[in-house]
């Protein structure tokens, strides 16, 4: 905490904005301090707001849905807070929806005096919200509608000054693509769950936050703590992220079984071998095309980078294009057997400009190629475009067709589940998704917890909902042998709840991989004046986990019944006939039941028990679920 004109300044502002786009009304709501202590911020508070304010059973693209943009508890403070989350009912999966993002928007919104913005209703005409401290107003965005996310951000910053931060949608969100996200900082996306489509359904183009403040709750004590904690970081890992970002694992992951290959039906060492994979290696192939490092708001690692201007006419990415992250390199590279670094940088730029979730967009391209290869779609469907593995020019054109909803691109722009439903039963075997969401670039046959995460988390197909941080000290160890599937439930429960703390706290997962996270209570207490200990903090993670699952169940979801493609589990041997994962087949029943029992959730319905909900202070939620 710090002194601000005689008042004690904490790491939260104690208020949010609530905007009714249908009427144009804007109201201020105070948030009780106990809610921050119980839910922290980000999608912790978002879970509470979504449960309380959105009627059960609504259409996710209806005006009644809520779109919440919420920084984390530490976001905007000196202590490792860079991230914000979007929360809504998901139009992609039909249940709980959230998306996590870095960049600068979360910090600037917090510094402007607000711990979040909740949107309801639908504007009659395209609009954007301008937040300049206490001055908040809706403005017309008709002239911006139809522009890309980066293009419109440049224009809005020209209007509102260099201190402005912009969260907005591109053409994908405007046309209600179910795989669209919300962009800030010229290419950082809150990408998953179709949050961009919800924003587009409200005719909301952007939120512009402007602040003169540079940091919140800064004291000599917090700066001293920050320096000490920076010195305590795991230096080799910190240096790796700083030098290579997540792109640094691309080539190795293609070979060790981590990266899915050829729409989850191939094997890296066979279909994308070392000499191929090294052509998109982060250090030797991607970094030489970068000009400078990039970091999200006040990030001590700065794992990003920005490019020089492309000299390749057919892949004209502009100056300061973001270096692709590993998920982009996997989704468009290894998944599509594509090893042209310039094409991958350009595709990453296109997804940022259109506002596509790059995991889903790359997965849609793989799905389309396999459908084309097997005659499910033909050149007549693609407008003459030949879809082949490794054909970068064709994949670029296909992505443009998706962004512009042209031809087959219109079918693919809503993701592979919706596309397969339109193309017919023959296409379904090639649709690699769980619960409607395309899968991340980490194979659970190598890390079994990813299976239960992908299938059973309220928002399916999300790799960032699990991390086995070993420095926090409260997460039981998992079996060392990745093929030992017994006894992982308690470990996974604690690891997932830890990630809810990280996300709701506004902390970056990569910083948490390097920092001594046993210090989390000290960080929270330093900027709030609380006396939380690790047990209380982990109870917050458990509370968020149960409220997210309760919402999913209330909306008719049952993660236990979600289908997982057999290529993912190893039930079929297409991706396991050779290489590091040869012969691996997950014991999915053991993994799932062990995890659900550990959580206190019904092993058939995933419904949290009444006793569990009451113990977490969620009695009113228990009354709804257990009528």
- What's the pLDDT score for residue 520? 96
Inter-CA distances, 180 with 168, 200, 465, 558, Å = 11, 9, 20, 24
pLDDT computed for residue 8 by the predictor = 61
pLDDT at 6: 46
**Does residue 318 contact residue 348 with C-beta atoms inside 8 Å?**
no
Sites in the chain below the pLDDT cut of 70 = 1-8
Query: Nearest Cα to 471, choosing from 433, 514, 502?
Result: 514
| Rounded Cα–Cα distance for residues 413 and 396 (Å) | 14
Phi, psi values for residue 203, rounded to 5°: 60, 30
Backbone angles phi, psi at 339, to 5 degrees: -130, 30
As a whole number of angstroms, the distance between CA 501 and CA 81 comes to 12
Contact (Cβ atoms closer than 8 angstroms) between residue 506 and residue 82 = yes
What pLDDT score was predicted for residue 1? 60
The helix/strand count (H/E) of the chain reads as 28, 18
pLDDT of 41 = 98
- Report CA-CA distances (Å) from 470 to 89, 478, 481, 518: 33, 11, 17, 9
pLDDT at 4: 53
| 529 CB neighbour count, 10 Å cutoff | 12
**CA within 13 Å, CB half, 542:** 24
Q: What is the pLDDT of residue 469?
A: 77
- Among candidate residues 192, 97, 195, 116, the one with its CA nearest the CA of residue 548: 97
Q: How far apart are CA 346 and CA 425, in angstroms?
A: 33
């Amino acid at each position: 905490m710090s002194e601000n004109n005689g008042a004690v300044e904490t790491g939260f502002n104690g208020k949010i904005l609530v905007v009714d786009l249908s009427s144009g009304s804007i109201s201020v709501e105070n948030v009780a301090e106990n809610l921050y202590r119980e839910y922290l911020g980000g999608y912790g508070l978002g879970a509470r707001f979504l449960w309380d304010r959105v009627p059960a059973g609504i259409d996710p693209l209806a005006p009644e849905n809520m779109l919440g943009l919420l920084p984390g508890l530490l976001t905007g403070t000196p202590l490792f807070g860079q991230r914000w989350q979007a929360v809504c009912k998901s139009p992609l999966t039909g249940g709980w929806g959230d998306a996590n993002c870095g960049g600068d928007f979360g910090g600037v919104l917090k510094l402007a005096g607000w711990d979040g913005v909740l949107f309801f209703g639908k504007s009659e005409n395209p609009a954007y919200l301008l937040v300049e401290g206490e001055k908040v107003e809706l403005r017309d965005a008709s002239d911006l509608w139809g522009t890309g996310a980066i293009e419109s951000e440049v224009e809005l910053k020209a209007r509102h000054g260099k201190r402005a931060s912009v969260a907005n949608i591109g053409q994908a969100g405007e046309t209600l693509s179910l795989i669209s996200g919300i962009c800030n900082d010229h290419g950082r996306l809150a990408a998953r769950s179709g949050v961009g489509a919800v924003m587009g359904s409200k005719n909301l183009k952007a939120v512009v936050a402007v602040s003169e403040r540079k940091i919140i709750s800064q004291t000599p004590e917090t700066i001293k703590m920050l320096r000490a904690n920076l010195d305590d970081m795991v230096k080799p890992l910190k240096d790796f992220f700083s030098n290579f970002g997540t792109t640094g694992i691309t080539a190795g992951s293609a070979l060790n079984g981590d990266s899915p290959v050829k729409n989850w039906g191939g094997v890296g060492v066979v279909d994308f071998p070392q000499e191929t994979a090294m052509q998109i290696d982060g250090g030797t192939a991607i970094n030489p095309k970068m000009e400078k490092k990039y970091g999200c708001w006040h990030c001590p690692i700065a794992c990003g980078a920005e490019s020089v201007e492309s000299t390749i006419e057919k892949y004209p990415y502009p100056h300061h294009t973001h270096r692709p992250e590993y998920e982009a390199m996997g989704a468009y590279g290894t998944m599509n057997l594509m090893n042209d670094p310039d094409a991958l940088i350009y595709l990453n730029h296109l997804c940022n400009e259109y506002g596509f979730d790059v995991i889903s967009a790359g997965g849609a391209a793989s799905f389309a190629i396999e459908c084309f290869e097997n005659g499910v779609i033909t050149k007549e469907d693609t407008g003459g475009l030949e879809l082949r593995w490794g054909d970068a020019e064709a994949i670029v054109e296909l992505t443009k067709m998706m962004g512009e909803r042209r031809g087959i691109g219109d079918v693919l722009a809503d993701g592979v589940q919706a596309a397969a439903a339109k193309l017919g039963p023959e296409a379904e075997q090639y649709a690699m998704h769980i619960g409607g969401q395309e899968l991340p670039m980490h194979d659970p046959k190598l890390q079994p917890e990813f299976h239960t995460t992908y299938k059973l988390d309220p928002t399916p197909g999300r790799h960032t909902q699990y991390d086995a941080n070993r420095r926090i000290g409260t997460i039981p160890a998992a079996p060392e042998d990745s093929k030992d599937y017994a006894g992982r439930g308690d470990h996974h429960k604690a690891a997932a709840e830890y990630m809810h703390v990280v996300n709701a706290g506004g902390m970056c997962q990569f910083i948490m991989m390097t920092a001594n996270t046993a210090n989390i209570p000290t960080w929270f207490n330093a900027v709030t004046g609380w006396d939380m200990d690790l047990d209380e903090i982990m109870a917050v993670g458990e509370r968020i986990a149960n409220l997210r699952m309760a919402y999913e169940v209330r909306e008719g979801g049952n993660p236990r019944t979600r289908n997982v493609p057999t290529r993912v589990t190893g039930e079929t041997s297409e991706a396991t006939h050779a290489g590091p994962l040869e012969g691996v087949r997950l014991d999915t029943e053991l993994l799932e039941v062990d995890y659900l029992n550990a959580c206190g959730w019904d092993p058939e319905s995933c419904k949290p028990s009444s006793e569990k909900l009451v113990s977490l202070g969620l009695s009113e939620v228990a009354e709804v679920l257990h009528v």
